[in-house]
Amino acid sequence: MKTLGDLFGTFEKRGSATAFVYRTGVRRFVFSYRDLYHLSLCTARLLEEHGVNKGERVLLWTPNSPWWAVAFWGIVARGAVVVPVDFASGKDRAEMIAKLTEQVPRIFCGGEI
């Protein structure tokens, strides 16, 4: 395995094995690798529909949650480059990173920047 894309390709094969568990208060959500794989492919299709091309940078500015992981792997599956931004750092920081990475602002996960 040499790339994140290679790793992503193993998710479907891992099937119902637990990828991660997410807890909110008293609720507990279990995501299998199959869930993560299919949700990430849906995200990749959404990115394609919004004009994100392979090799383009996509800022990922959202609070920690299962959806962060789904978005991350969806960006990888699309062949784009993930630019993670700490959500706690705020909008000004996200805008600065967008400029530094020459990223055209798009609406994605954390809001519009």
27-79 residue pLDDT tens: 999 999 999 999 999 999 999 999 999 999 999 988 888 999 999 999 999 99
Mean pLDDT of 15-32: 94
pLDDT at 82: 92
pLDDT band at 1 (very low <50, low <70, confident <90, very high): confident
Place 97 in a pLDDT band, splitting at 50, 70 and 90.
confident
Q: What is the pLDDT of residue 112?
A: 47
Label residue 94 exposed, middle or buried (CB < 10 Å: 0-12, 13-18, 19+).
buried
CA 45 to chain centre: 12
In order of their start, the domains of the chain are: 4-112 (3.40.50.980)
Token pair 């500015």 is at which residue?
A: 61
Phi, psi (rounded to 5 degrees) for 4? -65, -35
Q: Is the pLDDT of residue 110 over 60?
A: no
